[in-house]
Chains A and B, each alone.
Chain A
Amino acid sequence: MTGKLRDAKPSARQEIPIRRIVNESGIEIKPLYTADDVVSTGGVDASRPGEAPFTRGIHPLMYRHRPFTMRQYTGFANAADTNERFKYLIANGQTGLNVAFDLATQCGYDSDAPEAVGEVGRVGMAIDTLRDFEIAFDGIDLDAITVSLTINGAAAVLIAMYLAMAEKRGYDIAKLRGTAQNDILKEFIGRGTWIYPVDPSVKLVADTIEYCAKVAPKYSPVSVCGYHIRESGATPAEEMGYAFSIAKAYTDAALARGLDIDEFAGRLSFNFNIFGNLFEQVAKFRAGRRHWAKIILEEYGAKKPDSGWLRMIAGGGGFGLTIEQPENNIMRGAYYALIAALGGAQTMALCCYDEAYTIPTPKAQRLSLRTMQLLIEEIGLADTVDPLGGSYYIESLTNQLEEKIVAAMNWVDANGGIVKAVSDGVIQAKVSQYAYQRQKALESGALRKVGVNCYTESDEEKPDVALHGYDEMGAIEQIASLRKVRAERSSDAVARSLATLRADAQAGRNVMPAMMAAVKAYATVGEMSNALVDVYGRFQEPTKIWYRVA
């Protein structure tokens, strides 16, 4: 793809052919930016950090006041093993936890369900009952270390479990902080741990927002994820635009409960990806902050400025990592961390260099943690707010990215809104087409990837990868401890609480109070999820992924 920039002025001497560069969001990149570009793309944003629309950051002092929280994604085997890894990371300076659950837990199955065979404790920690949560967080100060639960389909169950565990340990849940991912709409687009059909799934998200607004107002019940949509095949602008469409759907559902926007908007948080072009990602975060503030403060008329904060974890970068020459991922991780810090993320989590193909080793996790610590301690990333602000390039890109974010949201609206686009599968089809184009570009070499299609090694040098071992005995032990809990608990109390849960779901009431009661009676993840499946049914995935989407 060679050509000349359209607006490059012809030189009197000789025209130098310049390779045309268009970033993933579809913005043509110029070789030089000046003040004129900022003006022509929409003008200078003179707002200060901590002032709406928060383009430069949601806090006046940002990392000078508090550096980004370091929260590596962690969880495997059972609660005891995961607890040990949590403590290892905390001892190494990690400041938050980001909990990974196994697929059985995420999909609402008990460890002894037929669907769970081979999956118990494989990709995350196995959780069956409140007992597992008690073990997982034993000895961890829940005020000092905030906990983020990466759970979606089964989020209502696990939020209840977390609150119940904290309550049991004597914490006042009215003051308890923490986050649940609980973004089910993106699960239908990418990641795939849905349980119920789309409409009742959104209803459950609204239940958790409403319940937390009343009972645990410091808890963030939702973290809307552009992250996985980007992984599945969305551009950076689409990542943010689709996330906002999703966040608006949850906001509308919560408002329909009679909540005031200022009661809950400040507790909505976000999760975005950091792989790709550094400047494009930084501009994405700045544009995203500005646009989300406009949505909440102008469109929804929130009165409290912090309702319009785009609070985010920026991290991962999973799709950017490669199984080829995996050590290159160490460097990629460092640049991605730089992106997150320059982008003003509140929290950072990096995919480890071996995480392209397995659960990371402790050493790889520590290396990611050290990467983040280096930025703060040695490289000066926590010294000054929005250090790229004022750059002609970044300011122009920020303006252009915001336009592209709006365009992505308009596309969703043109397809009937996010709930319909997801139910029909049209958004899934769109992102999978982009993923295919991206794959073709990788295979043709049009998209360069170091170690994959350039600077490659011969086959003989290719290292084989070691996967995190699967512990069959661990699964057997988990099932044994689940059966022990089942034998010890009051089966009457469990049956009663599940009957109430089913009845509340049937009547369309908020299920969280009944869920809390069931959790405290040591009902299992599978029992509570199945009670809701009885009422809501299970999601049937649209599989028509190949039709053309405009």
Chain B
Amino acid sequence: MSNRRIKVLLAKPGLDGHDVGAKVVVHALMEAGFEVIYTGLRQTPDAIAAAAAKAGVDVVGLSILSGAHLPLCRRIRDLLQEKGLHDTLWIVGGNIPEADRMVLKQLGYRGVFPTGSRTDAIVNFIRENVK
């Protein structure tokens, strides 16, 4: 890849208010030299897809701890595809049981980072997978 800075949208979809992890990841990605847009809490899937398209990001990251990751990720996948963002890297983190990780990968979320993941693992994954 070029020397262009990797641009990441980090979003908190739905009503879940757990944002410690999302903000920790924002700090880690910024320290790694990425450009990060953090949406804040309470974002609708439409708002997230629109923000990703508008900012022209390389990575869309979602953080969900309420357990509502499957319905939210399905909806956001549909909207990202509608906006032609198939070639961006989608990742999701949060409270995600083993069984759901495969489902999320099948939906197109190439990186799934359950609670307890290291921040350097997220940074490295993005570096390796952004085209």
Contact with B along A232-271 (1 / 0, CB 8 A): 1100000000000000000000000000000000000000
Whether B66 lies near A123 (C-beta < 8 A) is: yes
Residues from 433 to 463 in A contacting B, C-beta threshold 8 Å: 433, 435-436, 439-440, 443, 452
Whether A323 lies near B24 (C-beta < 8 A) is: no
Whether B15 lies near A452 (C-beta < 8 A) is: no
The residue of chain A having its C-beta at the shortest distance from the C-beta of B68 within the complex is A118
Set of chain A residues within 8 Å of B115, measured between Cβ atoms: 323, 356-357
Set of chain B residues within 8 Å of A324, measured between Cβ atoms: 116
A199 to B78, CA, bound (A): 38
- Kindly specify which of A31-39, A139-147, A541-549 makes contact with the partner chain: A541-549
Set of chain A residues within 8 Å of B42, measured between Cβ atoms: 107, 192, 541
Whether B67 lies near A546 (C-beta < 8 A) is: no
Q: Tell me if A280 counts as interface (CB < 8 A to partner B).
A: no
Q: Tell me if B38 counts as interface (CB < 8 A to partner A).
A: yes
Whether A193 lies near B17 (C-beta < 8 A) is: yes
Whether B97 lies near A432 (C-beta < 8 A) is: no
Residues from 344 to 385 in A contacting B, C-beta threshold 8 Å: 356-358
Q: Tell me if B40 counts as interface (CB < 8 A to partner A).
A: yes
Set of chain B residues within 8 Å of A284, measured between Cβ atoms: none
CB < 8 Å neighbour of B20 from A103, A116, A232, A470: A232
Q: Tell me if A466 counts as interface (CB < 8 A to partner B).
A: yes
Q: Tell me if A528 counts as interface (CB < 8 A to partner B).
A: no
Q: Tell me if B120 counts as interface (CB < 8 A to partner A).
A: yes
A192 to B29, CA, bound (A): 23
Set of chain B residues within 8 Å of A117, measured between Cβ atoms: 71
Q: Tell me if B118 counts as interface (CB < 8 A to partner A).
A: yes
A443 to B120, CA, bound (A): 9
Q: Tell me if B41 counts as interface (CB < 8 A to partner A).
A: yes
Contact with B along A89-120 (1 / 0, CB 8 A): 00000000000000110110100000111110
Set of chain A residues within 8 Å of B68, measured between Cβ atoms: 118-119, 122, 470
The residue of chain B having its C-beta at the shortest distance from the C-beta of A439 within the complex is B24
Contact with A along B48-71 (1 / 0, CB 8 A): 000000000000000000111001
Q: Tell me if B30 counts as interface (CB < 8 A to partner A).
A: yes
CB distance from B11 to the nearest CB of A (A): 10
Q: Tell me if A231 counts as interface (CB < 8 A to partner B).
A: yes
Whether A546 lies near B30 (C-beta < 8 A) is: yes
Whether A119 lies near B23 (C-beta < 8 A) is: no
CB < 8 Å neighbour of A432 from B18, B27, B67, B98: B27
Set of chain B residues within 8 Å of A432, measured between Cβ atoms: 20, 23-24, 26-27
Q: Tell me if A495 counts as interface (CB < 8 A to partner B).
A: no
B contacts, CB < 8 Å to A: 14-20, 23-24, 26-28, 30, 36, 38-42, 44, 66-68, 71-72, 95, 97-99, 114-116, 118-120
Q: List 15 A-B contacts (CB under 8 A).
A: A103-B66, A115-B15, A116-B15, A122-B68, A187-B17, A190-B17, A190-B19, A323-B115, A356-B115, A358-B95, A432-B20, A436-B27, A452-B116, A467-B67, A546-B26
